[in-house]
A = this chain, B = another copy of it.
Amino acid sequence: MNDSQRIKGVLSPVVTPFKPDLSPDPERFVRQCRWLLSQNVGLAVFGTNSEANSLSVEEKIELLDRLVAAGLDPARLMPGTGHCALTDSVRMTAHAMKLGCGGVLMLPPFYYKGVSDDGLFRSFAEVIERVGESRLRVYVYHIPPVSQVPITTGLVERLLKAYPAQTAGMKDSGGDWKNTQAFLDAFAKSGFDVFAGSETFLLQNMRNGGAGCISATANVNPGPIARLFDTWQNADADAQQSRLDEIRGTFAKFPMIPALKAAIGHYGGDAAWATVHPPLVELTPGQSEALVTELDRRQFTMPGLKR
């Protein structure tokens, strides 16, 4: 891969539509991904917001195959491939490489807590070695509120030393700007791409040498977030950021994943989208109504989503 083609900008951890039997719905998934690309947003499929860990490797491979078969550009794909089980991570990462995905977003194994950097290094190293592809671009995934297994600067330093080509960057979903800043300070100049975990930090990240953001709300507000990435040096950047924060703030009043799906269901005119996979639960009708009422009041729209 030519590294000038590295993934940059805004990506959506694409929410996964489910059929009534809770199996993934490939048609709706392809349609949603196509819409996101039309909004200039890349596809970090199989992230936390995708309920990816509620799906088996087989279910995810099937969805990824369907996206590529539908003609979506694999260079815009950064699927989540990190699992608790090493062989699952290897299988999913190798499959993403086979399809030509631009990168992979990799959770550390997240069952055991309090594990050492030695153990985490060995986990990532085993995946990289077993996949054995110089084209592989790994983005390590720091999301301690959920995984409870943080990624440290010490770990990234070791990975960059051992696998400079494959250690491409990270997503920081810790919600602590100081941590993002520490990674930017340590590694951004050497070409390590730091993606903020939400658009809340997009402008700040760009002003400090970051590569963009991968954000839950890019599922529902993709165009305006992508526009800030494209125009962050413009005079209205802070005003744009404030407007993004307003919309995100509305979603953040509700459980995020069910709220994203409720909004897609409502503004896309396709109520089936509201279904979530256990252990999550759908918004109540009252919550859905409150969400839409506030979004309408804020003149929120999802242009081009409705079929």
The residue of chain B having its C-beta at the shortest distance from the C-beta of A87 within the complex is B56
Partner of A279, one of B59, B87, B119, B145: B119
Contact A122-B56, Cβ < 8 Å, known A84-B84, A146-B111, A146-B112: no
- Chain B residues near A148 (CB, 8 Å)? 113, 148
What are the 5 A-B residue pairs with the smallest beta carbon separation, nearest first? A119-B279, A53-B111, A122-B278, A123-B278, A115-B279
Complexed CA–CA distance, A48 and B113 (Å): 11
Partner of A55, one of B48, B87, B113: B87
- Chain B residues near A279 (CB, 8 Å)? 108-109, 112, 115-116, 119-120, 122-123, 149
- Chain B residues near A120 (CB, 8 Å)? 278-279
User: CB-defined interface of A51-62 with B at 8 Å, one 1/0 digit per residue?
Assistant: 001111111000
Question: Could you tell me the distance in whole angstroms from the C-beta of A51 to the nearest C-beta in chain B?
Answer: 8
Q: What's the tally of chain A residues with a CB closer than 8 Å to chain B?
A: 39
Max chain B C-beta neighbours (<10 A), residue from A56, A58, A119 = A56
Max chain B C-beta neighbours (<10 A), residue from A109, A111, A146 = A111
* A110 at the B interface (CB under 8 A): yes
- Chain B residues near A280 (CB, 8 Å)? 112, 115, 119
- Chain A contact residues, CB within 8 Å of chain B: 22, 48, 53-59, 84-88, 91, 108-113, 115-116, 118-120, 122-123, 126, 145-149, 277-281
- Chain B residues near A116 (CB, 8 Å)? 279, 281
Complexed CA–CA distance, A113 and B59 (Å): 23
- Chain B residues near A112 (CB, 8 Å)? 53, 146, 279-280
Contact A88-B56, Cβ < 8 Å, known A109-B278, A278-B109: yes
